[in-house]
Structure 1
Amino acid sequence: MSTRRGFIAGLAGASTVAVWPRALRAMMEADAAAIAHDLNRPACHLLPPHNWMNDPNGPIFWKGKYHLFYQVNPHAAVWGDMHWGHAVSTDMVHWKHQPIAMAPTPGGADSEGCFSGSAVVFNGKPTFIYTGVQNAPREQVTIRDGGDKLRETQMIAVAEDDDLLHWKKDEQPIIPLPPPGVQVTGFRDPCPWKEADAWYLGVGSGERGKGGCVLLYRSHDLRQWEYLHKMVEGKPNGKQATNPCDSGEMWECPDFFPLGDKHCLIYSTENKVLWTTGHYDAQAHTYTPERNGVLDHGAAYYAPKSFAAPGSRRILWGWLRETRPEAEFSAAGWSGCMSVPRVLTLGAQGQLEMHPAKEVESLRGPAESVKVSESTPFRRKLDDLQRELSLHLSLLTDTVLTIRLISNGPAAWELTLDVPAKQVRCGDIAFPFPALPWPHPDLRMLLDGSVIESFIGEREALTSRVYGLKPGETQLEVSMKGKGSIGMQTWPLRAISPDKLTS
């Protein structure tokens, strides 16, 4: 099947120039109409009007507004031709799309893509530090995943207006090469922060046979950077793969920040997102993890990025990727969305905890409160595919609790909390029941089209993608085995736009 990008390129070469804008407009209008009626498409999550989205980039609160940038392919619903998309909000829930913030510069160090990065405020101006990629001779290649043709460098761009619509790039990379003596498996996704004496920058990397790592740099002006050392590194795990991200020999999208009286490092590798909390030595500039875990147990959640939000909150965004075949999402005309914003906190034993931001509750319609017991399960046919439920689990003892979405026969999705087995199960995924006591003894589930985000006691999260659900034919069921009953609330959720195109 030809891609939309190929189709547009073909139209651009047509001999009758007047046909081109009419044909393109008709195609885009048809796409928009189809996308707006796509039942798989979320209505309560941020995503572009069409085409491909991946990593959140450079989230920042500036002049009273939240700005979220993200990886986007403006030409097709598949990965490639990475630009930075841009959306703005006053509440992190309702968004207005803005023009593309950054595009590859022909012949420049980011000619093959503006990859992921971060935003900081430097000298009073929002500033991006990001990874640019370009084709390079094999000896200069840094992405070694079987393709082996792209060189990654760290680059900078500065906002030219307070609406963050226009950005001025430096032509030359600020970090053109990996440190000497390190045979990197990758060199990308810069994460900057300010300390008393200077700016510091972590870059995701790794080495074959040694594991992933974060390379640490220091600067006083964000242009001249001194390499220090590996701030933290993994250990060999014996795994091998063509793509080092699959074997744990490359850590993508490192995110490093203070949280409570600890520091937190989040990174993506082996097809999942891992968190650690621990001690950062500000004199030696090294980080020692003390606690660790999986940030989200679902296969759909990847490459998150956090920022400091008003109210001393650390807000995390994650990319919710498609789990269906590429041919299907390419034909649908859209792929990927952002998670709901999650607030990160530090637990009493130093573990990472999270919950949806309070602002998400603004989407709730009228609440319905019920009791669920072994003899009285809850069953409801859904008139739409936007729904939240919250189960109060403070009385759980020997209970087995199951939530199902049933569509034309067998369950399309099932989540089970098995207290006697001390296990949570969802399809092929299983993980230990989070240790009690929980900061909030509840289970929250948000259904939005093909997206399901679940939070268990603010200790564990699991994001699923379930395709093919239909309003009026999908039943929500909550059942339990065990003594007593469980209180539950459920709400319909209002869409954030009238047409599923966000704004």
Structure 2
Amino acid sequence: MQRKHLTDHHRTAYHFQAPSNWMNDPNGLVQWKGNYHLFYQYHPHGPLFGKIHWGHAMSADLLHWTHLPIALSPTEGGPDEDGCWSGCIVNNQGVATIVYSGNAHGRQLPCVATSQDDDLRTWHKYAGNPVVADWPAELDIVEFRDHCVWQEGEMWYQVIGSGFKGVGGAALLYRSPDLLRWEYLQPLCVGNKDESGTMWECPDFFPLGDKHLLTVSSIPDGLVYYFIGSYQNFTFTPESQGLLDGGRHFYAPQSMRDDQGRRLMFGWLREGRDDTDLLQAGWAGAMSLPRILSLQPGGTLGIEPASEIEQLRLRRHTVEPQTITGQQTVVEQLFSNALEINLDIDSQTASSCGLILRDSAYPEESIAISLQEMGLNIEANNGHTAQEAEQYSLVIGRHTLRIFLDGSVLEVFIDGRACLTERFYHSAPQQLNLSLFASGGEATLHQMDVWEMDTIWQ
């Protein structure tokens, strides 16, 4: 199956993917003894969601990954017999400790596992799992799963994803002296079901600058919301909020603070095709590029790809600054669908402007990335139907876009403060051409660079 994947042009060259089969949420992001570790939700027996394990990969440079043996597997008759669901890793006095959701009989409860290995290959589950025996009895909640754990002084704290019936999503706060005995404190934060969904999965909570940031993956919205605010007296008070990604293919992100002091985040990139296509392909899911989060002046969120990605740049194509009217091809004969495109463009008098990618062998297929009065829009046309991504609202004018095309993945970073992700499934690339366009007036290209990108796999 892995040999078959080598010729699958929908697979990625520089986004992380499992060797085969199904993968979803990033888990247990940690830098341990100099290496980055990426664990992830994994079904090793097929390309559809099933009995979930923890896959594992390691990297010295955040680019090139080594696949390692499965880290966690369900234990028959145990509290995770139906799946080892999402969680995180913390350093408990030199011992790597996983806190994850054990799934059994339709309910998820917190479980713990530890490792003494330098490369975190071998894990031992705590005999007393689950470490929280049940949901808080006094709360009328819809679900209870996924964990973010941190230490303050001598105490450990964690938030668990949940939601109050008829109210909205919630992040529930617990504390413990030893990661094994947990006391429920109170809700850290409660949302409005009409604004951010009825259930919050995969909560992630951490300091950012002089504020705190909470990210949640929302049901039924399928979107990732972030909240920036203040944290005191076990309560988080949001002061601003937004979408972490404007598309519906980015979900369940998790972050970590690395040795450089960066807040580093990965997210799961969901597929956009049906089960029949997944069964034929033999795989599903990818990780986003590593994203760096920061607090910008004025308390706004900054989102940029990790600078390590630039090491993958190969052949460069530069387009000179110019006035854009109509549509004109600016780069031809790209024989790769692994590209980075940096675009600095001003709409000026145009009502719409942007970039079109088209393969000369399949002229009916295209990807259009456009600045319009309604905001940034991505439209992927496979020759039969046009699929529009969720638009990202912005004021039309001058904007800088960093566009990453990789197999069936498209990530667009907007002005270093937002991102829009799309999945698409076009024919095998033969000769990509890039065109700029402006309609309803003139636009100005200030800068455009295109790089063909190297693969992260041997």
2:194 aligned partner, one-letter code = N
Distance verdict in 2 for CA 1:224–1:299, change over 3 Å? same
Match in the other structure for 1:139: none
2-structure distance, mates of 1:202, 1:131: 12
Pairing 1:385–2:337 present: yes
2-structure distance, mates of 1:187, 1:224: 17
Pairing 1:44–2:7 present: no
Deviation of the 1:436 alpha carbon: 8.8
Q: What secondary structure is seen at the aligned counterpart in 1 of 2:199? A: coil
Deviation of the 1:373 alpha carbon: 3.1
Match in the other structure for 2:296: 347
Pairing 1:489–2:425 present: no
2:338 aligned partner, one-letter code = Q
Range moving further from structure 2, 161-170 or 469-478: 469-478
Distance verdict in 2 for CA 1:199–1:124, change over 3 Å? same
Match in the other structure for 1:278: 229
2-structure distance, mates of 1:315, 1:411: 34
1-structure distance, mates of 2:445, 2:257: 40
1-structure distance, mates of 2:5, 2:49: 18
Q: What secondary structure is seen at the aligned counterpart in 1 of 2:194? A: coil
1:368 aligned partner, one-letter code = H
Match in the other structure for 2:160: 203
Match of 2:363 among 409, 412, 415: 409
Pairing 1:426–2:384 present: no
Q: How many residues align?
A: 438
1:442 aligned partner, one-letter code = T
Q: What secondary structure is seen at the aligned counterpart in 1 of 2:276? A: helix
2-structure distance, mates of 1:39, 1:205: 38
Q: What secondary structure is seen at the aligned counterpart in 2 of 1:67? A: strand
Q: What secondary structure is seen at the aligned counterpart in 2 of 1:431? A: coil
1-structure distance, mates of 2:137, 2:282: 43
CA RMSD in angstroms, aligned pairs only? 1.8
Match in the other structure for 1:234: 191
Q: Which ranges of 4 or more aligned residues in structure 1 deviate by more than 4 Å?
A: 434-437
Q: What secondary structure is seen at the aligned counterpart in 1 of 2:311? A: helix
1:83 aligned partner, one-letter code = H
Match of 1:160 among 116, 122, 129: 116
Match in the other structure for 2:142: 185
Residues 91-150 of structure 1: CA distance to partner in whole angstroms, max 9, x if unpaired?
Answer: 111000000000011100000000000011002111100000111xxxxxxxxxxxxxx1
Deviation of the 1:197 alpha carbon: 4.5
1:262 aligned partner, one-letter code = K
Contact kept, 8 Å, 2:353 with 2:443, in 1: the verdict is no
Considering fraction of residues, name the structure with more helix. 1
- What does residue range 80-229 of structure 1 map to in structure 2 within 5 Å? 80-135=50-105, 150-171=106-127, 172-229=129-186
Distance verdict in 2 for CA 1:329–1:112, change over 3 Å? same
2-structure distance, mates of 1:445, 1:179: 45
Match in the other structure for 1:501: none
Residues 148-190 of structure 1: CA distance to partner in whole angstroms, max 9, x if unpaired?
Answer: xx11110111112111001111132111211111122111111
Residues 266-291 of structure 1: CA distance to partner in whole angstroms, max 9, x if unpaired?
Answer: 0101111111110111xx21001111
1-structure distance, mates of 2:436, 2:12: 23
1:433 aligned partner, one-letter code = L
Residues 53-93 of structure 1: CA distance to partner in whole angstroms, max 9, x if unpaired?
Answer: 10000010010100010000010001011000000001111
Match in the other structure for 2:412: 454
2-structure distance, mates of 1:159, 1:332: 34
- Identical residues among aligned pairs (%): 39
Considering fraction of residues, name the structure with more strand. 2
1:430 aligned partner, one-letter code = Q
Match in the other structure for 2:382: none
Match in the other structure for 1:373: 323
Residues 418-477 of structure 1: CA distance to partner in whole angstroms, max 9, x if unpaired?
Answer: 2xx25212233323116999xxx5210011111111101012211111102322244332
Pairing 1:444–2:434 present: no
Match in the other structure for 2:238: 289
1-structure distance, mates of 2:355, 2:396: 21
2-structure distance, mates of 1:391, 1:342: 19
Q: What secondary structure is seen at the aligned counterpart in 2 of 1:360? A: helix
1-structure distance, mates of 2:276, 2:344: 41
Contact kept, 8 Å, 2:329 with 2:434, in 1: the verdict is no
**Structure 1 spans left out of the alignment, 5+ residues:** 1-30, 136-149, 239-246, 499-503
2-structure distance, mates of 1:484, 1:99: 51
Deviation of the 1:412 alpha carbon: 2.8
2-structure distance, mates of 1:314, 1:446: 21
2-structure distance, mates of 1:267, 1:443: 25
2:6 aligned partner, one-letter code = A
2-structure distance, mates of 1:434, 1:49: 41
Contact kept, 8 Å, 2:392 with 2:420, in 1: the verdict is no
2-structure distance, mates of 1:480, 1:445: 18
Match in the other structure for 1:319: 268
Match in the other structure for 2:384: none
Match of 1:479 among 423, 437, 445: 437
1:250 aligned partner, one-letter code = M
Pairing 1:67–2:37 present: yes
